Amino acid sequence: MPAALALTDAERGAVVRRIMGTADPSLAAFPAAVRRVVFSRHARYVQPLIAQHWPESLGERAGRKLRFLTCNLYATAPYTVLFSAPQPPFPVGPARWLGSRLGLSTTSLSRLAGVAVGATAAVLPALTERRILLFAAFIATIDHVYDHCLDGVDPVERGRRMGGLLDGTWTPDATTTHAGAFRLVRALHDEMQAGIDNDDDQRELDRALARLRDYVDAEVKAMTGVPDPSGCCWRMPGVLGTIDGLVFPVWRHAGEQARQWMYDVSLFVQVLDDYLDIVKDRGELRPTPMLTGHWDEATLEAIWSKTLDGIVALAKSSGVTDDNWLAFVRETYRMMALETAEAMGAGTAD
């Protein structure tokens, strides 16, 4: 039996806090600035679609959960990674140069970066910001729909419906349970493609959507008992698909090293989720790598350390040499990840 099954929820939470460490509250300025931008863009680009296609969710727990996942988890990633990107947008580059040359403390760097977030949001093309929020909302919504809107539906039929949403061959009618949620998935899908006028952007979007179709197929395999040779119980297509979607709006800035680091972060979040939910998952239709023993507490600790080292390596590869800036990047990531872990432990993200 996995050791985590013998622990209470509180005990598993304590293990997570031990592994992840403690946040430095003096660095709150940068995460707060990212949140302000993301929530304002959510109100501008996503909320009207929700009001049109799934208005009842706005007053329900599902709506609050999706807003949290979209804004506090998924949409923050593209903005945050720009501060360690090899080709950052204009306000970020000068902020990195100025902060490094002045020898500012990590607290001051957080404040400077917070100002730069606002400046970056002011100059980023509206289409880029729109895509960031739409894809973040799309990922959050499709995951919610798969987990909570298909109860009692045969796994193969689940895959048919979800695949049909992605390729336009299935549309819910008025008699379909949770029809609004399904309509929102399709609306977000269609809106993401608006405004693409070059082959490079289309290639990146196609890559992301292909990954998400892999995720749908993998869920069917997991629920129908098809063995996963990797031992990960078909978790990896979702890990990879999430990130290719989030990289799509900022791929010209981020580069492949940033994509690989974000894959690791996505994997960490999945391992963390399976660790925290191991008791609940025991009663679900599909197995998880935590339940099979393929992942354990040591896996969680190893991938967390890899992501901490990875954000520093990413910043270094983009030309950052200042120790305080590198510490600011690492500890800000820790703070934001801890916020996500606490929300997951409290059930906010379920």
pLDDT at 350: 66
Q: Is 8 exposed, middle or buried (0-12, 13-18, 19+ CB in 10 A)?
A: exposed
Closest to 254 measured CA to CA, from 128, 144, 156, 97:
128
- In angstroms, the CA 226 to CA 232 distance is 12
CB 249 within 8 A of CB 128: yes
pLDDT at 349: 66
pLDDT at 182: 95
End-to-end, the C-alpha distance of the chain in Å comes to: 24
Give DSSP secondary structure letters for 30-53: HHHHHHHHHHHHHHHHTHHHHHHH
Q: Is 229 exposed, middle or buried (0-12, 13-18, 19+ CB in 10 A)?
A: exposed
Reduce the DSSP state of residue 75 to 3 states and report it.
coil
Residue 73 DSSP one-character state:
I
* Per-residue buried b or exposed e for 109-127, using 16+ beta carbons within 10 Å of the residue's own CB: bbbbbbebbebbbeebeee
Write down the residue that tokens 């023993």 correspond to: 293
- In angstroms, the CA 71 to CA 94 distance is 26
pLDDT at 147: 86
pLDDT at 162: 93
Q: CB neighbours (10 Å) of residue 19?
A: 18
* Greatest extent of the chain over all pairs of C-alpha atoms, in Å: 63
Assigned token pair, 9:
């929820």
Q: Which domain holds residue 230?
A: 3-346
pTM of the predicted model as reported, rounded to 2 decimal places? 0.92
pLDDT at 347: 76
Long-range contacts (CB closer than 8 Å, 24 or more residues apart) made by 59-64: 62/144, 62/148, 62/181
pLDDT at 1: 79
pLDDT in tens, 201-213: 999 999 999 999 9
**CATH number of residue 171's parent domain:** 1.10.600
Q: CB neighbours (10 Å) of residue 45?
A: 20
CB 189 within 8 A of CB 138: yes
pLDDT in tens, 125-150: 999 999 999 999 999 999 999 889 99
Ranges of the chain with pLDDT below 70? 348-350
* Per-residue buried b or exposed e for 147-156, using 16+ beta carbons within 10 Å of the residue's own CB: eebbeeeebe
Helices (H) and strands (E) in the chain, counts: 17, 0
pLDDT in tens, 17-36: 999 999 999 999 999 999 99
Assigned token pair, 233:
């119980």
